[in-house]
Amino acid sequence: MCTIASKLIDGSYFLIKTRDPVPWMRWDDEIKLFDTPEDKYKKLIIQNPDEHEDGYYGGINEKGVAYIATYVSVEDNQVSYIRRPYVRLILDASTAAEAVEIIKKFNPRIGGNMYVSDKKESYLIEGAPEKYYIEKVKDQSVRTNHFLKLPYKNKSFALPNFQNWSESRLERAEKLVGEAKNLEDLKDILRDRKNKEGKASICRTEGEVECCTHSAFIFDPKKVKVYYCQGNPLKNEFKEFGF
């Protein structure tokens, strides 16, 4: 479960994400370059290190098209964006608008809150099995693990504290994203510990809860860069990657 956002800073629609995997998901991840004849463009994707398991968590291609998402479970037979090869296919797009069209063609639809950006525009997508809600981002947009536009409730809201965690992170992230002016501010959002007493902070630590923050990353479509923190961002540094 993750906090994700799109923010316009200095002419680039940055995408940011914490990765807070639930217990039945792979906890560690890595960044990998995809540059094969099957890939229309070179791609940097944060992924599950085991190529035999599902797990594409976000990425950017050499054209500056970036994608992030977080899952929202509303039905039993729902397909998550993390399934291979969805993210890799989305990043065959040359623009954010083209990426949206690729996503719209998936059948069945992939589920969750999603952002796709390039250096000129950014889109929010809320995805459920029945429909997508799509809107263009103006200056900023934030999502956690519930929908704000689609009328479907996350099944995990039945779990203790889950709804509070999702709603508290959304409120806090909206405030911080609104104040962010540069890359360092975005990194600080992904490290934020406000509401830790209620186990509802954006960044959560091992030992505090089982579903804690295992990595974080930022995509800059204008500079075509990734700032990837492998491990909890309170203990590890963001490293820059490009093509």
At 164 the pLDDT is 86
Q: Where are the domains of the chain?
A: 4-241
Q: How far apart are CA 238 and CA 46, in angstroms?
A: 13
Per residue in 152-179, pLDDT (tens digit) is: 999 988 887 888 889 999 999 999 999 9
The residue with greater pLDDT, 199 or 187, is: 187
Tokens found for residue 38: 């099957």
Per residue in 6-64, pLDDT (tens digit) is: 999 999 999 999 998 776 667 789 999 999 999 999 999 999 999 888 899 999 999 99
Question: Which residue from 92, 96, 65, 32 is spatially nearest to 222, judged by alpha carbons?
Answer: 65
Cis status of the peptide bond prior to 49, with omega within 30 of 0: no
At 147 the pLDDT is 96
Residue 207: which pLDDT band, with cuts at 50, 70 and 90? confident
* 123-155 core/surface letters (b: 16 or more CB in 10 A; e: else): bbbbbbeeebebeebeebbbbbbbbeebebebe
At 51 the pLDDT is 85
pLDDT at 85 over 80: yes
The residue with greater pLDDT, 144 or 161, is: 144
228 beta partners: 217, 239
Tokens found for residue 212: 């804690």
On whether the 4-241 domain is CATH 3.90.1150.10, my answer is no
43 beta partners: 34, 61
Question: Which residue from 217, 193, 218 is spatially nearest to 203, judged by alpha carbons?
Answer: 193
Question: Which residue from 240, 204, 149 is spatially nearest to 3, judged by alpha carbons?
Answer: 204
* CA angle 163–165–166, rounded 5-degree value: 65
Q: How far apart are CA 156 and CA 77, in angstroms?
A: 15
At 212 the pLDDT is 83
Kindly report which listed range (52-66, 140-154, 194-208) carries the lowest average pLDDT score.
194-208
